Amino acid sequence: MNMFERVRTAIAAPQHLILFRKDRLIWVFLYMLFFAALFATHEIVTVSTYDGISWQTQETIRENGVSPDADCRIEDAVLQCDEETREVLFEHTTLTFSIDSHDSIDTEAYGEYSPHFVLHGDTLYVYLDTFAGIFSHEKPIAELDEAVHNIDLNYDEETELEFFEAVYAAVDAEILAYRGLWGTGLILFRLVSGLLLFNVFVLLNAFLIQRRLRKVPFKQMFVMMSYASTLLFVVLVFDAIYSFHFILFILLLFVAFRQTSRLALEIQRQIQR
């Protein structure tokens, strides 16, 4: 199978895609998988170049982080509080950070957000919501960056900068340590969502056109519509990377839909011969 020949035909002369109607479904799946991989390009680049939380995220943490109501601190890599407390000190789409000074930690209470960092006793608990369920990991605070081994969680204006720099260093180290896990999950999610999106469009298109052209077997219609949707795949890939303006996106979609219309007209012409 010459994939690039099909790409060129789909973009330049979609009416000739009828020549490929008998392609095996496995090749069609791999064809769409190729574009789904391109669809995940942004996530692949993000994961591979990630070197820590961004400056914008650091500012968000600093602006939205709060001190605990109880007097709490970390002394010799152990969380110490004057009273039992369970508090969220920072909550954002990127991560959530909590402290828990109760005798025992309620692990079920921390699976709602991902990733969720929880300080409890002498341990940092990390909770990640993955496809396989809630993944948890424990790491002694003593193994974190030394900057957080002795730190007052009730910071003031004078100690605020020092406090957050210590937090950034510790968080960066932990996120990078699990990049293989969350990065793989992020890329796979984008890949699978792209593949599902492409298949839903192709199936719907093939079903609607096949209702008008019943002489064409559905399998062949699916194959041809998969190739005819190439320009749509390309538009979605570039939109995922560059985030087109809405009006431009609609115009490009219109052009992409015209490709399938040209193929449908050719199929109808062949049938009427």
Q: Which residue from 114, 108, 66, 113 is spatially nearest to 87, judged by alpha carbons?
A: 66
**In this predicted structure, what is the pLDDT of residue 114?**
63
Q: Indicate if the pLDDT at residue 271 is higher than 70.
A: no
**In this predicted structure, what is the pLDDT of residue 1?**
62
Q: Indicate if the pLDDT at residue 270 is higher than 80.
A: no
- Residue spans of the domains in the chain: they are 3-44+184-271, 68-154
Residue 135: CB partners within 8 Å, gap ≥ 6?
A: 127, 128, 129, 181
Alpha-carbon distance of 3 to 12, in angstroms, equals: 14
159-216 pLDDT per residue, tens: 888 888 888 888 788 788 878 888 898 899 999 999 998 998 889 888 888 888 888 8
Q: Is the distance from CB of 115 to CB of 182 less than 8 angstroms?
A: yes
17-35 pLDDT per residue, tens: 888 989 999 999 999 999 9
Q: Is the distance from CB of 40 to CB of 191 less than 8 angstroms?
A: yes
> Where is average pLDDT lowest: 86-95, 99-108, 155-164, 248-257?
248-257
223-265 pLDDT per residue, tens: 988 998 888 888 888 888 887 767 767 776 676 677 777 777 7
Report percent pLDDT > 90 for the chain.
17
**In this predicted structure, what is the pLDDT of residue 199?**
92
**In this predicted structure, what is the pLDDT of residue 130?**
64
Q: Which residue from 161, 72, 168 is spatially nearest to 117, judged by alpha carbons?
A: 168
Q: Indicate if the pLDDT at residue 134 is higher than 70.
A: no
Q: What is the SS3 assignment for 115?
A: coil
**In this predicted structure, what is the pLDDT of residue 132?**
60
Alpha-carbon distance of 105 to 120, in angstroms, equals: 7
**In this predicted structure, what is the pLDDT of residue 185?**
87
